[in-house]
């Protein structure tokens, strides 16, 4: 993934026309667009390729199954045109290895969830987040997903994975996280959904967050 604005749009709209319009509008201001179940279930998997023609697509399906089923899912997602896929790590090293193998065949990337950005992540996920980060690092994935809502956890996860793999960080804006703080804590990219796609002018909103990120880096 190119590292330019260091901003990823989470495009959780359910209308095909709106999704394509926003993708066109923010092109050049985001490095990737993350799409998931809301958009794909509403419009069909062809939307993956349609958006990927404009901006690289990260498919957020949080894949979590046995290796054979993971393989079947990965093949569908990458054949549809996704450049990257988010998967869970708790299913273990064999499931993750399968996802990485299929991604390699397609020249695509895998990102592994560590600790999610919402409060409920403290119930179970935080206890194993550091193990997930280590697992992801061992599997040589492209990166992990870590919470912008807890910059200190981004920093901790960075200390575990080192600088060889990336951190993409959701939770900015509506969930309360700050793009600047996440970047300063060690995130390579921040992921922003509602603060951009619900804005009156999504392009302007994306530009403002990209500027906040640039200012944080330049400090």
Q: Which residues contact 73 (CB under 8 A, 6 or more apart)?
A: 61, 63, 65
Shortest distance (Å) from residue 134 CB to ligand XMP: 17
For residue 34, list its beta bridge partners: 10, 58
Stretch in the footprint of ligand XMP (CB under 6 A) among 25-33, 67-75, 152-160, 191-199: 191-199
Which one is catalytic: 27, 45, 62, 214? 62
Q: Is 194 labelled a binding residue?
A: yes
Contact between 175 and ligand XMP per CB under 6 A: yes
Contact between 108 and ligand XMP per CB under 6 A: no
* Cβ atoms within 10 Å, residue 218: 6
Shortest distance (Å) from residue 78 CB to ligand XMP: 18
Contact between 173 and ligand XMP per CB under 6 A: yes
Shortest distance (Å) from residue 173 CB to ligand XMP: 5
Phi, psi angles (nearest 5°) of residue 206: -65, -40
Q: Which residues contact 97 (CB under 8 A, 6 or more apart)?
A: 67, 139
Stretch in the footprint of ligand XMP (CB under 6 A) among 45-53, 109-117, 134-142, 182-190: 109-117
Q: Is 60 labelled a binding residue?
A: yes
Stretch in the footprint of ligand XMP (CB under 6 A) among 40-48, 67-75, 110-118, 210-218: 110-118
Q: For residues 10 and 191, is the Cβ–Cβ distance under 8 A? A: yes
Instruction: Give buried/exposed letters for 88-121 (b at 16+ CB in 10 A, else e).
Output: bbbbeeebbebbbebbeebebbbbbbbbbbeeeb
Which one is catalytic: 45, 65, 203, 214? 65
Query: Three-state SS for 108?
Result: coil
Q: Which residues contact 83 (CB under 8 A, 6 or more apart)?
A: 1, 32, 52, 56, 57, 58, 108, 109
* Closer residue to ligand XMP (CB): 36 or 67: 36
Contact between 185 and ligand XMP per CB under 6 A: no
Active site residues: 60, 62, 65
In the annotated binding site for substrate, the residues are: 12, 34, 60-69, 117, 170-180, 193-194
The site for ligand XMP (CB under 6 A) is made up of 10, 12, 36, 60, 62, 86, 113, 116-117, 145, 147, 170-171, 173-175, 191-195
């Amino acid at each position: 993934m190119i590292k330019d604005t260091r901003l990823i749009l989470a495009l959780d709209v359910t209308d095909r026309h709106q999704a394509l319009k926003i993708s066109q509008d923010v092109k050049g201001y985001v490095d990737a667009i993350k799409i998931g179940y809301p958009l794909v279930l509403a419009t069909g998997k062809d939307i993956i390729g349609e958006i990927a023609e404009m901006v690289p697509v990260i498919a957020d399906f949080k894949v979590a199954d046995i290796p054979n089923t993971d393989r079947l899912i990965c093949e569908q997602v990458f054949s549809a045109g996704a450049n990257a896929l988010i998967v869970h790590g708790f299913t273990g090293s064999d499931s993750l290895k399968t996802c990485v193998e299929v991604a390699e065949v397609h020249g695509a990337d895998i990102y592994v969830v560590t600790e999610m950005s919402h409060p409920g992540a403290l119930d179970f996920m935080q206890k194993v987040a550091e193990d997930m980060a280590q697992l992801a690092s061992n599997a040589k994935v492209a990166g992990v997903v870590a919470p912008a809502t807890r910059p200190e956890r981004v920093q901790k996860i960075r200390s575990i994975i080192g600088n060889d793999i990336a951190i993409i960080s959701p939770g900015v804006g509506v969930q309360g996280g700050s793009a600047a703080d996440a970047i300063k804590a060690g995130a390579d990219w921040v992921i922003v959904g509602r603060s951009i796609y619900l804005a009156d002018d999504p392009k302007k909103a994306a530009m403002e967050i990209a500027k906040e990120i640039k200012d944080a880096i330049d400090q």
